[in-house]
Structure 1
Amino acid sequence: MLTNVKAKTLSTQMVEPPHRLSFWREVICDVFVKLDCERVREEGEFSGTIVNGSIGDLQFSEVISTGQHVIRSKAQLARASGDYFLISVQTAGHGRVVQDGRTADLSVGQFALYDTSRPYELMFEDNFSQLVIRIPRQAFSNRVMVSDRLTARAMNGRQGVGRIALSYLAELDRSFPSVDPSMCGRLCDTFIDLLSLAVSSDHMDQPDVSNVRLTQLYRIQRYIEDHLSEPDLSPQRVAAHHRISTRYLNMLFEAADSTAARWIWQRRLEKCERDLLDPRYAGRTIGEIAYSWGFNDLTHFSRTFKARYGLSPRDYRESKRSLVSPH
């Protein structure tokens, strides 16, 4: 994987053996988040290579290394920057992800989700390789209510939705050289949708963590996503469709620190923000884009957009255009 995406390779072979572990610590901190790393065996040389590339807001890293113990401690959280979810896909050897009181033992073809905002550990007893996908928190949590029930669980990437998601990623990598750059955002959105579905469906299949409310919330979020462009989409309509009260609907959204109305506006704003930056829609007015995603009051749209992104829709569009304009 990452054979066609523009990538950077960082390897301990770049430095002398006595300095390789300290170099590796610096590399993984730069690529992922603040971490500590220790060898699991003193004998033999330590080695590690990371091939790191990005598509849109997603970062992909192929990690090939000798055994190690990686720790994300409370001390590192205190001086951390960035807020991400990470998904590790085991591609060779065995790995272990520890978070929220659980341990996910990963063999080839399995993957696990973990949250960089809380402590975690990664353990590898022998040589291994993984594909690590870094996803901005907002991009993932907008699609599925991610709680500590979903972290550090071994999920199957060889069947079901997990296989579909990883197959899509492999095809995206193969086709990347011929992909119009303006399409990258949409392609990444599709991949995140598939990952969200894979994580959620795997979680729902486990009877020991079955949760009726999480299942309901996920289905409601998917319904909202499918009907965002319809102006009459409202909490009342969503509740009626799912045969629940609006009070119960908002109680479900408390788990996502939101309300149904806020969730709808947030997703509509994000769709509009994406289209404002899409070169294919350069000829569309701001009003046309806003109305296409269910807004029916342009003044309200402009006000809420500025509150979210810090600029009016027009200024936001122009500022982003200036960043990519040729000089």
Structure 2
Amino acid sequence: MNSQLSTLQGQRFCTDDLPSSQRLNWLKEIIGREYANVDVSQIADEPVFNDMVIYPWLYGTRFSPIKTQPLQIERLSREPTEVSQDNYFAVMLIDGRYKLEQDGREVFLEKGEITLYDATQWHRITMPEPASKVIISIPRDYLKQRLSHVSELTAKKISVTSGIGAVTSHTLQTFASQLTTLDTLSFQSMFDPLIDMLTLSLNQLSPQSVELSRSQNTTLFHIKRYIDNHCHHPDLSPAIIANAVGFSVRYINHLFQTEHTSLMRYVTQQRLNRVYRRLHHQQSMHQTITELALEAGFNDMAHFSRVFKSQFGLSPRQLREHVKKEVYACANTN
């Protein structure tokens, strides 16, 4: 387990290491730091138990298998204290019972079912019996790039009896069960197909809200894929992209306008995501921030620093210092 955590740069947080009297407050602190500011309550007489592992994935997403004794978790009113908390959480129940309340709706999950909630808004989660679940935390801006109507999809249940929902649930359960056998490349390579499946499943919850036709959606997906694979080239321009994908710059910008952005803003976003991800990797600690920015496709450092802080709320240097502190704290804990 420990070697696999190291391989995938995961962190484990488990109440087993603490006296029973300290577990509830410790768990509240950990959830508040890693997920959202919450109040945690026992709903059973037995000692608090919670075992969570957090694996950093791509573009600021994180994959977290969690086992817990009965608990109720309620979002506190104060604002997120970390930029990393501005997320949507996709939850899949592996075992037990789970109720989510948000936006005036409540949803009850059974094994394999999936729902979504906004971590920054009020919500209440009730698990009345021992449960296992998987949380995928997805940065708000990243998910909104894929689903412009994502705010309408919270506290709704994805059907997993047939169709893409069933495929998504089965694949996620298999992926979670095989985590301890995966190397870093395999783990990272599963990001695109799993997030694509989750996006398609969420889209089915409110199909009337989809702003693109199926053919336009497919076209935009392929344009994004081309950009994702080539945005590290500093000379990537609208003309180069248009020539590569076979559509006019005007039409491509029309597609991006349906997601309230533009072609080159999307390119900049993907470059920022690359730097953000690299700043979280220990393997990149020896590189300067300028080197990371240049490798991502930026050639104007003043512009890079300005848009990075605007996007993530911290300067690149501040984020690096924050990551270093987390790595140091983790090393001391272990």
TM-score, normalising length: structure 2: 0.66
Aligned ranges 1:53-68 → 2 under 5 Å: 53-56=54-57, 57=60, 58-66=62-70, 68=71
Q: Is the 8 A contact 1:113 1:153 kept in 2?
A: yes
Aligned ranges 1:166-315 → 2 under 5 Å: 166-176=173-183, 179=184, 183=185, 187-188=187-188, 190-206=189-205, 209-213=207-211, 219=218, 221-228=220-227, 229=230, 231=236, 233=238, 237=242, 241=247, 248-249=254-255, 251-254=257-260, 258-271=261-274, 299=299, 302=301, 304-309=303-308
- Name the CA shift for 1:268/1:29 in 2 (closer, same or farther; >3 Å): closer
Bigger-Rg structure (1/2):
1
Query: Number of matched residues?
Result: 292
Q: Does 1:50 align with 2:51?
A: yes
- Name the CA shift for 1:30/1:104 in 2 (closer, same or farther; >3 Å): same
The runs of 5 or more residues in structure 1 that have no matched partner are: 311-315
- 26-35 vs 105-114, which deviates more? 26-35
Query: 1:205 & 1:65 partners in 2: Cα distance?
Result: 32
Query: 1:127 & 1:88 partners in 2: Cα distance?
Result: 16
Q: Does 1:132 align with 2:135?
A: yes
Give the secondary structure class of the aligned counterpart of 1:151: coil
In the other structure, the counterpart of 1:76 is 78
Query: 1:265 & 1:302 partners in 2: Cα distance?
Result: 13
Query: 2:170 & 2:3 partners in 1: Cα distance?
Result: 20
Q: Is the 8 A contact 2:239 2:249 kept in 1?
A: no
Q: Is the 8 A contact 1:2 1:173 kept in 2?
A: no
Q: Deviation of residue 4 (structure 1)?
A: 3.0
Q: Deviations over 1:23-57 (max 9, x none)?
A: 4433433442210123345xx32422223233355
Q: Is the 8 A contact 1:104 1:152 kept in 2?
A: yes
Query: 2:302 & 2:32 partners in 1: Cα distance?
Result: 38
Query: 2:50 & 2:25 partners in 1: Cα distance?
Result: 14
Query: 2:120 & 2:16 partners in 1: Cα distance?
Result: 28
Q: Is the 8 A contact 2:96 2:132 kept in 1?
A: yes
The runs of 5 or more residues in structure 2 that have no matched partner are: 310-315, 328-334
Query: 1:28 & 1:274 partners in 2: Cα distance?
Result: 22
In the other structure, the counterpart of 1:313 is none
Q: Deviation of residue 197 (structure 1)?
A: 1.6
- 267-276 vs 225-234, which deviates more? 267-276
Q: Deviations over 1:152-179 (max 9, x none)?
A: 2223397323433443454443123xx4
- Name the CA shift for 1:40/1:267 in 2 (closer, same or farther; >3 Å): same
Query: 1:2 & 1:154 partners in 2: Cα distance?
Result: 34
Q: Does 1:154 align with 2:157?
A: yes
